[in-house]
Chains A and B, each alone.
Chain A
C-alpha cells in the first residue's frame, strides 16, 4: 500500500498541475489508510478499538478535505480503489497494530510531494500531517525512524 517513495524525492511540484498531482498522491494515501483502519479495527477491542476508530476518522476527514481542495482547483479527485492488497496478513491484535504503523508511515510518504509544492499553505498542511502520522505510528508501537517517508535515507 505504501506509495512510491523515491519517485517523490527532490521533485519540486511547482504550479497548479504539480499541486494537483501532489494532492492526488496524498489523497491516495488517505484513502488507503481509511480502508486499512477498517481492517485494523476489526481485530481490536476495547481501548485499542476506540483508538483505531478515532484514527480512522482522522484519515477520513483528511481524505474529505483533500477531495474538497482538489475540487476547488477544478480537478476530479481520484476515486478510492474498491479494495487494497494489505502488506501483511492480519489475524491478531499485534498484527493489527503493525498494520496501523504501516498505514501511518504510508501516509507520511504520501504527503512528500505536497511538502515540495510552491504553495506555502499546502507545504505547512503536508508537514503537519506527516508529523501527526509519524506520531500515530509511534503510538501504535512503531520503532523510531530517522527519515520517515524517505525510505532510501534510512
Chain B
C-alpha cells in the first residue's frame, strides 16, 4: 500500500492543481496510477524564479565583497561596509522567499537558474557600485512584474523586497559619492 501522502506533499499538490484529491485516491497503485504529476502551478514557478534571482544577487554581492576585500583605501572600506550590509539584506530576502516555497525535492526536478548570468564586475570601485545599482534596478522591475500575478501574501513580501532593493540604489549611490 502506498504511503499516506504527507501534509507537505498535499500542500504542494494543491498548489500544483488538483493533485491533492488524486493523491488520496491513488490507493495501492500509487500516485502514478493516475498519470503524470501535473505541472507546477505558475505562482510556484514565479516564486522559484524570484528565489533564483535573489540567489544571483547574493552571489553578485559576495563577488563584490571578495573583490573589495583586499584593498584598503578609506572610500573602498566605506563602500565595502555598505556592500556587506546590502548583501546581508539579500540573504534575508532569500531566506524569506525560500520559506514560502513548499515543494518536495522529488517534484523540483528542474533547478531554475537566473535567466541571464551577470557579467564580471568592473575593476574600479565606481564601476562596481554602478553595476550593483543596475542589478538592483533590474531586480525592482522584475519583482514589480512578478508581484502583479502573485498570491496576496507573496505579493506583499515581493513588494516589500522591491522597496528594500529600490533603497539599495540610494545607499550605493551614497557610497560612491562619499
| Chain A residues near B (Cβ < 8 Å) | 8-14, 108, 111-112, 115-116, 120, 123-124, 126-128, 130-135, 137-139, 142, 144-150, 153
Q: How far is the CA of A115 from the CA of B158 in the complex (A)?
A: 9
Candidates A13, A111, A137, A148; contact of B152 at CB < 8 Å: A13
Candidates B93, B143, B156, B166; contact of A8 at CB < 8 Å: B156
Candidates A12, A135, A150; contact of B160 at CB < 8 Å: A150
Contact A108 B163 (CB under 8 A): yes
In angstroms, how far is the closest chain B Cβ from the Cβ of A127? Answer: 5
Contact A130 B159 (CB under 8 A): yes
Candidates A9, A123, A149; contact of B163 at CB < 8 Å: A149
**In this assembly, does B96 line the interface, its C-beta being within 8 Å of a C-beta of chain A?**
yes
Write out the residue numbers on chain A whose beta carbons fall within 8 Å of the beta carbon of B170.
135, 138-139
In angstroms, how far is the closest chain B Cβ from the Cβ of A15? Answer: 12
**In this assembly, does B164 line the interface, its C-beta being within 8 Å of a C-beta of chain A?**
yes
Contact B156 A123 (CB under 8 A): no
Known: A128-B144, A144-B89, A153-B96. A9 touches B153 (CB 8 A): yes
Q: How far is the CA of A12 from the CA of B148 in the complex (A)?
A: 13
**At the interface, is chain B mostly helix, strand, loop or mixed?**
helix
- Chain B 122-157, CB-CB to A under 8 Å as 1, else 0, gives 000000000000000000100110011101110111
Write out the residue numbers on chain A whose beta carbons fall within 8 Å of the beta carbon of B92.
146-147
Contact A144 B160 (CB under 8 A): no
Known: A9-B153, A147-B161. A138 touches B148 (CB 8 A): no
In angstroms, how far is the closest chain A Cβ from the Cβ of B90? Answer: 8
Contact B159 A11 (CB under 8 A): no
Candidates B147, B148, B153, B164; contact of A134 at CB < 8 Å: B164
Known: A12-B151, A135-B169, A144-B171. A115 touches B164 (CB 8 A): no
- Chain B 83-101, CB-CB to A under 8 Å as 1, else 0, gives 0011011001100100000
**In this assembly, does B107 line the interface, its C-beta being within 8 Å of a C-beta of chain A?**
no
In angstroms, how far is the closest chain A Cβ from the Cβ of B68? Answer: 17
Q: Looking across the interface, which residue of chain B has its beta carbon closest to that of A139?
A: B170
Q: Looking across the interface, which residue of chain B has its beta carbon closest to that of A111?
A: B159
In the complex, which of the residues B96, B143, B147 has the most CB atoms of chain A within 10 Å of its own CB atom?
Answer: B147
Q: How far is the CA of A153 from the CA of B163 in the complex (A)?
A: 14
**In this assembly, does B33 line the interface, its C-beta being within 8 Å of a C-beta of chain A?**
no
Write out the residue numbers on chain A whose beta carbons fall within 8 Å of the beta carbon of B164.
134, 144-148
Contact A130 B160 (CB under 8 A): yes
Beyond A144-B85, A144-B167, 8 extra complex contacts between A and B, CB < 8 Å = A14-B152, A115-B156, A116-B156, A127-B163, A130-B163, A131-B144, A133-B163, A134-B166
Q: How far is the CA of A147 from the CA of B163 in the complex (A)?
A: 8
**In this assembly, does B76 line the interface, its C-beta being within 8 Å of a C-beta of chain A?**
no
Contact B148 A124 (CB under 8 A): yes
**In this assembly, does B162 line the interface, its C-beta being within 8 Å of a C-beta of chain A?**
yes
Write out the residue numbers on chain B whose beta carbons fall within 8 Å of the beta carbon of A116.
152-153, 155-156
Q: How far is the CA of A134 from the CA of B165 in the complex (A)?
A: 9
Write out the residue numbers on chain B whose beta carbons fall within 8 Å of the beta carbon of A132.
166
Write out the residue numbers on chain B whose beta carbons fall within 8 Å of the beta carbon of A150.
156-157, 160
